[in-house]
Amino acid sequence: MIGRVGFIGLGHMGGPMCANLARAGFDVSAYDLDPDALARAADAGARPAASVRECARGIEALITMLPAPPQVESVLLGDDGAISELEPGALSIDMSTSSWAVGQRVVDAAVQRRLEVLDAPVAGHPRRAQEGALGIYAGGREVAFERARPLFEAMGDPGRIFHVGPHGAGYTVKLMLNLLWFIQSVATGEVLTVGARAGVPIEKLHAALVASPANTNFLEHDVRAVLDEGDYDEVFPLRLVTKDLGLAVDLARDVGVPVELTALVEQVHRRARAAYGDAGGQISAIRLYEDLAGLKLRLGPAA
């Protein structure tokens, strides 16, 4: 039974995840480069650590929640990396959206130190992280997954916690989930903009599509942030969107699958990033279509 946990990476998602572990009764040490994030973790009941190695010292499970593969590799495998500090038998769980290649290097290093490893990225908005209701997709040995389950259930929705296969499978499922979401974002933006430009009131167009066989969760729910409030969801910025899409393209190339649609969707989001900056919201592809058509896709108050 895991009791002592280290948590590295206390951003929009990692901060609430760490707090939920502390509230669930785990003995949590936490580390982040941002002192304000570290202070928030302390307020939630975690013990602040002064470095990656201090955070990893004497724990039974280490969780990392970091922006991209370079940070994952640096934190786990760098000169002062956590893998070299973990004791044999400990569990390293990377919950970042990272790459299979970095994950395999972590596995190779962990095997040398007799550590268990899981890649277990998450899905959900930061409010889902605060509620402890994330989706979690874990790759690695099933025995390690079962050992980590109490940690996952403190951070995620028990009905949306999945063991999806061997090492790397968690990363793959998360990239495919994100890819499909970003494809739907572009497709929804095109469809709504063309229909609105052709003269169909947006509230009638949206209602008809939601009631049709073409309905999706994105069309029914996620796009409402734009339609209701003009909110392009800056909590997840375009610099991370294009990172994830780049990883999906890399994965497709590595496994030998031609992905013309994926490549085009990636370029649409890179164009949005060029237009609206690194901090532009993840639904900014729709903003591109609005600007090109000279209109705003907004529902009326009675919609």
Residues with a known catalytic role: 174
Q: Which two tokens stand for residue 245?
A: 């899409």
- Residues whose CB is less than 8 angstroms from the CB of residue 112 and which lie 6 or more positions away in sequence, other chains included: none
The answer to whether residues 202 and 226 touch, using CB atoms and an 8 Å cutoff, is no
CB 182 within 8 A of CB 233: no
> Which pairing describes strands 134-140 and 116-119: parallel, antiparallel, or unpaired?
antiparallel
Distance CA 193, CA 189 (A): 6
Which DSSP helix (H) or strand (E) runs through 43? helix 35-43
**DSSP secondary-structure letter at 284?**
H
Look-up of token digits 């050992």? 147
